[in-house]
Amino acid sequence: MQKTSTRLADGRELVYYDLGDAAGRDAADRRPLDAVATASEIRHDPLLDEWVAVTAHRQARTYHPPQDECPLCPSRNGRMTEIPAEDYQVAVFENRFPSLAGPPGPADAEDPGGLFLRAPGAGRCEVVCFTSDHDASFADLTEERAGLVLDAWTDRTAELSALPGVRQVYCFENRGREIGVTLGHPHGQIYAYPFTTPRTERMLRAAAGHRERTGGNLFDDLVAAERADGRRVVLETGHWTAFVPHAARWPYEVHLYPRRRVPDLTELDAGARAEFPGVYLELLRRFDRIFGPDEPPTPYISGWHQAPSGTEGGKGRPERSDFALHLQIFTIRRTSGKLKYLAGSESGMGVFINDVPPEAAAERLREVASQ
């Protein structure tokens, strides 16, 4: 892999990742861009003990431009985009409309009782362009190119985890208008959060309780139990296990774990890294076949759950050794032509109601395996 770092006209970093020839990666961004101005802050919810990002500047972000004005396509024929090169394999750049940006700062209370805490929305948000082909999808990539994306995710995880104030790195893809995607070009994002996310905190608490009760690791025991049961296992290889969770929240949801538990992408071994592209591409292609050949591409969210990267004191959290890196893929489509909406119970109370039994979802995902 070759890595080439450069700067866009407004100072944002752009990084190219290439297999083989990296010619043209020194192309300059000639757009007359003003410096990025953000107004991100985080506010603490004392009832749930969670942080919420408030980002008024994102109201002006690009929204469903025509294909010939796509900002993620290469710059060609005099039309300049976010990617100055005339072609690329994988490109990662700082988001022009980030939810989180800048250095960390202290949290201050707006009230005498300390209930209204707010802090700078520190961190970093990046866009990951999987291919220069506007009409492709991740599932269209070759295994070699999918491996390059894995290399980029891994490199960005290492780089962003080392930034001051960053507590967790999340690499993810939103695919499909139904999910809320505003740009049609195949791409994902990376968020470097200034706090540990609520989902991860809950998993860490559950893992700590499980260890106290049983002496075992919750993630290891869960994967072992799913493999022993077998009804919800979708795919197994020498280095990976994919299954529909016993209590899946989404109509079709798959969790993918490496056989050897590691806290994040940077610690995957060579065998797991070599097998991942084939496994992941197979899962994505199965998702596109769930509802039959006449249905449009399946909308999905896919993201890596990684251990927290540090604490205020700069030392790694002890829970990192207990956490298990895993990929979650799910769709909000529950059946042909119908979506799963997060209505009263889900949005108001956080109680999910799943219309598709997890065992039935796993059976369907096995049925649509590649021949």
List the catalytic residues. Answer: 187
- Tokens read off for 204: 């860490």
Across the chain, where does the E strand assignment appear? 2-7, 13-18, 40-45, 50-55, 90-94, 108-109, 117-120, 124-129, 168-175, 187-193, 233-236, 240-243, 252-258, 300-305, 326-331, 333-335, 338-339
Distance CA 55, CA 53 (A): 6
**319 and 307 Cβ atoms separated by less than 8 Å:** yes
Rg (CA), the chain: 21
- Residue 207's closest CA among 191, 198, 218, 215? 218
Contact between 24 and 35 under an 8 Å Cβ cutoff? The reply is no
DSSP 20-67: S--TTTT------PPPP---EEEEEETTTTEEEEEEGGGGGS--S--G
For CA atoms 171, 177, 180, 186, the dihedral sign is positive
User: Rounded to whole angstroms, how far apart are CA atoms 141 and 147?
Assistant: 9
Give the SS3 label for residue 254: strand
Specify the DSSP class assigned to residue 135. Answer: T
The answer to whether the beta carbons of residues 271 and 259 sit under 8 Å apart is no
Residues 6+ apart with CB under 8 A from 41: 53, 54, 118, 119, 120, 121
Pairing relation of β-strands 338-339 and 326-331? unpaired
Neighbour tally for 218: CB within 10 Å: 20
